[in-house]
Amino acid sequence: MILKTRTSADLPWSEVTPEPIYRSRREFLRTGVAGITGAAVAALAACGTAEVAEAQTTLASTPNPKYVATAADTLNTFEQITTYNNFYEFGSEKGDPAKYAGKLTVKPWSVKVDGMVSKPGTYGVEDLVDFKALEERVYRHRCVEAWSMVIPWIGVPLASVLNKVGPMPSATFVEFTTLERPSEMPGQRTNILQWPYVEGLRMDEAMHPLAFMVIGLYGKVLPNQNGAPLRIHVPWKYGFKSGKSIVRIRFTSRQPLNTWQIAAPNEYGFYANVNPNVPHPRWSQAHERRLPNFFSNTPTQMFNGYGDQVASLYTGMDLKKNF
């Protein structure tokens, strides 16, 4: 991202994830449906309250839990997804989050909800996420640095979380603030970025059925390096829109200033829709490096391949100006 000295295409072999043992998509679909109950239950272990115990029982006996697959690609392995990360709070090298995030305390966790909302307050994870409605979704994950992965996330639609707290009609944007705790986050003891990390979405983007609140992946509780206990995934946008370890949700009528926009406004915009036709000022976005591949030879798709579902959000907008 801000590393001005090299692009993802320049990464040395030492930083490329090792050759994985891929599970084919067909195989995953076959086992995925049966596996989701166990997956969702494992994810639940993150919380450990009475309601969660009850939800675990319900899930375990649900014959047909929800499974929504949207990316027809080969899945990345758990190892790849959890060892090649961007989480600058733990350092700017891709291996830093896996090295240093283990010590982060994620229980208990609370999220402040404020701004233009009818039920402001402080919420626990279990207040915001309906554990009985967990889904597993396979989404493409495209970083602005032109690498990508395919990840089986566990979570709930972001809209279901936001609807619980009653956004007011005057709220046209939602801002997500992530954890600031320098004692446990060594990257925050540097000024590599402005802390805390902040992101935002237009309300219609946040309420879109594809936008997802993630609490797990690959049938496990979300590892800290991937943004435990709560992170967003907005699959048609560059990865930096997906804030990790969220502690505040604020509804507003003004477009939030996101962290990367503050850091380099000519390079990172508010919308950050995946767009092969709008190059980053320092590199092309036409292709991506699908990890663990070495070469950037996967053509990038408009809106990361989700255009049929999200293009209408941007009708009439100049996407070169609104990058």
Write down the least CB distance from residue 87 to ligand MTE, Å: 5
Nearer to ligand MTE, 126 or 199 (CB): 199
Q: Which residue in the shown chain puts its C-beta closest to ligand MTE? A: 239
Nearer to ligand MTE, 88 or 251 (CB): 88
Write down the least CB distance from residue 1 to ligand MTE, Å: 5
Write down the least CB distance from residue 3 to ligand MTE, Å: 11
260 is written with which tokens? 């990367």
Q: DSSP assignment of 196-260, as one string?
A: S-EEEEEHHHHTSTT-EEEEEETTEEPPGGGTSS-EEE-TTB-GGGS-SSEEEEEEESS----HH
Length of the chain: 323
- Tell me 19's DSSP state: P
Nearer to ligand MTE, 17 or 226 (CB): 226
Nearer to ligand MTE, 203 or 291 (CB): 291
CA distance 234 to 28: 22
- 198 close to 263: Cβ distance less than 8 angstroms: no
Nearer to ligand MTE, 59 or 104 (CB): 104
- Cα torsion for 61, 233, 227, 38, to the nearest 10°? 20
CA distance 21 to 272: 32
- 304 close to 235: Cβ distance less than 8 angstroms: yes
| Amino acid identity, position 17 | T
Nearer to ligand MTE, 131 or 240 (CB): 240
Write down the least CB distance from residue 168 to ligand MTE, Å: 26
**Phi-psi sector, 291: left (phi>0), alpha (psi -120 to 50), beta:** beta
Nearer to ligand MTE, 143 or 171 (CB): 143
Q: Which helix (H) or strand (E) holds 98?
A: helix 96-100
Q: Kindly give, in sequence order, each residue whose CB lies less than 8 Å from that of residue 265, ignoring residues fewer than 6 positions away.
A: none
Q: Could you list the residues that contact ligand MTE (CB under 6 A)?
A: 1, 85-89, 141, 143, 178, 197, 226, 239-240, 242-245
Write down the least CB distance from residue 88 to ligand MTE, Å: 4
Write down the least CB distance from residue 14 to ligand MTE, Å: 18
Write down the least CB distance from residue 242 to ligand MTE, Å: 5
Residue with tokens 């994985």: 20
